[in-house]
């Protein structure tokens, strides 16, 4: 049912597919790196499993394989980037690099992006800041699947936030999470296994709590982090809204329920108030606040102290954000990336279409 | 049991108390404005109810009534402010103003603050950006009450985040929330009423779920937004951690379990890794991204569309972050601020101590 593939094998395949789509070699390599970093880090829903989806968007002329990305407005610490309908996998690293370059001169850099597409795993982009001794921030809006508190209408995407913070001897702190109780990827895993979802992940079309992992297919909705009002869903709703506004209203992308859908067969919303999907990136130079050495020594202390916080029982330990993904990457670089049969089938179809062998 | 006071009455009283503590007239007015804005906006736990707590910190020589706040490091878009152990109610507006001034020149301004104290209601500081057509951000670390996912040790404060975003004809979007399932203030209300807390707000000292609103008094802990791992508590833990790191590790304040406690009778932690409490502020000029008119027109559209999202039932409507607090402020400016008997008693004691009449 599952088969293991070496990272290199999947890299060559994916890179060839992007080149066959018409991406130039640099963009193809970037897109491949971003996409496969999700598989390496164990965020399987955002990796090669989405390749078919990206190709369908390209076939539907919603993705431009050769975008001319450009800065359309800027100040010393900010920029707006027009992604020219390119793959988010290519547009996002371009825009994050602009944020990093701004930070070199102004201390921080903040870039809002319009006219883009899904950008893969948010953590990849945030982590681009780390080698520069900067804190990196990445967020994006996405197809509307989430109902605000007290509503039954899908108004927001799962709108993830990633924050990467450098440390010294310790590995970096890398938070990367959807602003919903559970990500759509986790819901898809339950659907595949025909299992029920825990209460608090989704609601049915009338707004009742539901354990139906397929609730979205019958006009249900995902729930903001917090699940219900009593447990703080208004905070998850506020967070998702902030991501939407920073990513799309600041840049001139399409926001809220008008965000362009990822599945190419879903018609585009009518009266879109902006262009494409939006992202938001930030880079903060550590030494714009204190010396990088001081900061890193204290981050090491922070991380060590939290990792040694008393666990609730002997089977558990306190994790630092980024720990599970880093351990997964070590494991998968060594032993390969498992893919389920249905994804392998999809990749074979892609391979035939583009004349590339898996 | 409850008594209503006009805002003006409480303003004169509080302002006189701060002046009697030794604050200069400007600082006293600032501190009073910040403190009472919490009462006006219905965040009763952060308002005049805390006046006794601030006074005890001052009596315990943990608060300096005449701080010489200063910028100790800066770049075009960043600064670190040393609060000189001043009232957070005074230090925070000073630092937020630095962020706003930076944004005027560099597009954005980001200020991390050390050596401060509790800053009252986060939303006040974020909202300072609004009249400048800027987005405002405010966050702070706080006394450790919250256990990370899988832990029974209190490592983080309720670490709130506030984001204020200007609109045009619509009132602004103002999110202001603790990164826990419920704020400590809500827990205190249940304690006062001798009611149980909903499951998911606190855990007991062994890490079991608990409905004991007094769990903190028997070595229990508050829970991060998400409540448990299955419902995303690792996301709330990550958010609270980011607030802690931006506020205290970036600035050189004391972080995590070493954050100075608010109750003056609690001894200071040993081996504190930094000075006092930390805050973090941001200001982003809207026209560093697109014209303020364009942005505001789209924010009006965003707000109107979300307010009209289909409600789950006829008794409910979808709220925009900031709606309840704004409605409360209108009501309380008109009809006064209700205070419970125990708070009134405390204020009378303060009045006698400082020779000020309520």
**Cβ-based neighbour number of residue B348 at 10 Å:** 12
Ramachandran sector of residue A337 (left: φ over 0; alpha: ψ -120 to 50; beta: rest): beta
Task: Map residue A129 onto helix, strand or coil.
Answer: coil
Which residue of chain B has the CA closest to A306? B155
d(CA A352, CA A346): 10
Among partner residues A105, A108, A230, which is closest to B110 by beta-carbon distance?
A: A108
pLDDT digits (tens, 9 = 90+) for A127-167: 999 999 999 999 999 999 999 999 999 999 999 999 999 99
* pLDDT of residue B1 exceeding 80: no
Structure token digits, residue A94: 């371009």
Which pLDDT belongs to residue B243? 98
Count of CB contacts below 8 A, A vs B?
Answer: 256
Q: CA A171 → CA B205, B240, B315, distances in Å?
A: 30, 19, 50
Q: How far is A125 from chain B (nearest CA, A)?
A: 17
Backbone φ, ψ for residue A73 (5° rounding) = -160, 145
Which pLDDT belongs to residue B111? 99
d(CA B41, CA B161): 16
pLDDT digits (tens, 9 = 90+) for A189-240: 899 889 999 999 999 999 999 999 999 999 999 999 999 999 999 999 999 9
Whether B232 is covered by a domain: the verdict is yes
* pLDDT of residue A1 exceeding 90: no
pLDDT digits (tens, 9 = 90+) for B128-182: 999 999 999 999 999 999 999 999 999 999 999 999 999 999 999 999 999 999 9
**Contact at CB, A321 and B245, closer than 8 angstroms:** no
Q: Do B196 and B172 share a structural domain?
A: no
Whether B38 is covered by a domain: the verdict is no
Q: Do B206 and B163 share a structural domain?
A: no
**Contact at CB, B149 and A305, closer than 8 angstroms:** no
**Contact at CB, A245 and B110, closer than 8 angstroms:** no
Whether A160 is covered by a domain: the verdict is no
| Segment B326-345 mean pLDDT | 96
**Contact at CB, A238 and B152, closer than 8 angstroms:** no
Q: Do B243 and B162 share a structural domain?
A: yes
Whether A217 is covered by a domain: the verdict is yes
pLDDT digits (tens, 9 = 90+) for B179-235: 999 988 889 889 988 999 999 999 999 999 999 999 999 999 999 999 999 999 999
Q: Do B242 and B167 share a structural domain?
A: yes
Residue from A187, A250, A286, A320 to probe the interface with B (highest B Cβ count within 10 Å): A250
* pLDDT of residue A12 exceeding 80: yes
Residue from A102, A252, A306, A325 to probe the interface with B (highest B Cβ count within 10 Å): A306
Locate all alpha helices (DSSP H) within chain A, ordered by sequence: 7-21, 25-40, 51-59, 88-106, 122-127, 184-192, 233-244, 292-307, 323-335, 341-354
d(CA A141, CA A257): 10
Q: Do B251 and B110 share a structural domain?
A: yes
| pLDDT band (50, 70, 90) for residue A172 | very high
Backbone φ, ψ for residue A135 (5° rounding) = -85, 135
For the ranges A35-39, B43-47, B270-274, which has the lowest average pLDDT? B43-47
Which pLDDT belongs to residue B188? 87
- Domain range holding B218? 183-222
d(CA A93, CA A124): 9
Q: Do B200 and B87 share a structural domain?
A: no
Q: Do B212 and B175 share a structural domain?
A: no
Q: Do B159 and B104 share a structural domain?
A: yes
ipTM greater than cut 0.95: yes
CATH assignment at residue B130: 3.30.1370.60
**Contact at CB, B177 and A238, closer than 8 angstroms:** yes
Which pLDDT belongs to residue B249? 98
Whether A96 is covered by a domain: the verdict is no
Whether B356 is covered by a domain: the verdict is no
Q: How far is A59 from chain B (nearest CA, A)?
A: 31
Among partner residues A155, A235, A318, which is closest to B309 by beta-carbon distance?
A: A155
Residue indicated by tokens 């020594």 = A297
Q: Do B193 and B247 share a structural domain?
A: no
Number of domain units in chain B: 2
**Of B201, B222, B243, which closes a domain?**
B222
Whether A274 is covered by a domain: the verdict is no
Q: How far is A147 from chain B (nearest CA, A)?
A: 9
Cβ-Cβ contacts under 8 Å for A155 (sequence gap 6 or more):
A144, A146, A147, A148, A256, A257, B305, B306, B309
8 A C-beta contact, residue B170 and residue B299: yes
Residue from B102, B222, B235 to probe the interface with A (highest A Cβ count within 10 Å): B235
User: If you ran DSSP here, which 8-state letter would residue A146 be given?
Assistant: B
Q: Do B250 and B104 share a structural domain?
A: yes
CATH assignment at residue B216: 3.30.60.50
Residues of chain A contacting B181 with CB distance shorter than 8 Å: 226, 231-232
**Contact at CB, A108 and B77, closer than 8 angstroms:** yes
**Contact at CB, A77 and B288, closer than 8 angstroms:** yes
**Contact at CB, A78 and B238, closer than 8 angstroms:** no
Among partner residues A76, A150, A301, which is closest to B316 by beta-carbon distance?
A: A150
**Mean pLDDT, all residues of chain A:** 97
Whether A214 is covered by a domain: the verdict is yes
């Amino acid at each position: 049912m599952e088969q293991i593939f070496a990272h290199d094998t999947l890299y060559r395949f994916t890179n060839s597919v992007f080149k066959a789509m018409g991406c130039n070699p640099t963009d193809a390599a970037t897109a491949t790196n971003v996409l496969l970093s999700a598989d390496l880090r164990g965020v399987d829903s955002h990796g090669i499993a989405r390749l078919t989806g990206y190709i369908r968007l390209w076939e539907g002329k919603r993705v431009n394989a050769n975008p001319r990305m450009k800065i359309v407005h800027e100040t010393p610490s900010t920029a707006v980037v027009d992604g020219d309908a390119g793959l988010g996998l290519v547009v996002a690293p371009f825009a994050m690099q602009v944020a990093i370059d701004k930070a070199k001169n102004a201390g921080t850099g903040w870039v809002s992006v319009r006219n883009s597409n899904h950008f893969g795993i948010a953590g990849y982009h945030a982590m681009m800041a780390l080698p520069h001794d900067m804190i990196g921030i990445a967020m994006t809006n996405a197809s509307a699947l989430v109902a605000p508190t007290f509503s039954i209408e899908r108004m927001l995407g799962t709108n993830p936030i990633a924050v990467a913070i450098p440390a010294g001897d310790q590995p970096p702190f890398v938070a990367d999470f959807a602003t919903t109780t559970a990500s759509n990827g986790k819901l898809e895993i339950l659907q595949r296994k025909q299992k029920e979802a825990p209460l608090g992940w989704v609601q049915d079309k009338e707004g009742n709590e539901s354990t139906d992992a397929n609730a979205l297919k019958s006009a249900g909705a995902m729930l903001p982090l917090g699940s219900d009002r009593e447990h703080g869903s208004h905070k998850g709703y506020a967070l998702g809204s902030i991501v939407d506004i920073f990513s799309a209203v600041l840049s001139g992308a399409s926001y809220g329920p008008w965000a362009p859908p990822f599945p190419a067969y879903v018609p585009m919303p009518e009266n879109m108030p902006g262009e494409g999907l939006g992202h938001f990136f930030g880079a903060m130079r550590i030494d714009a606040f204190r010396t990088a050495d001081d900061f890193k020594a204290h981050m090491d202390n922070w991380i060590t102290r939290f990792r040694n916080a008393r666990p609730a029982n002997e089977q558990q330990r306190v994790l630092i954000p980024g720990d599970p993904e880093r351990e997964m990457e070590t494991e998968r670089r060594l032993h390969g990336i498992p893919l389920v049969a249905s994804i392998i089938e999809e990749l074979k179809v892609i391979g035939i279409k583009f004349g590339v062998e898996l």
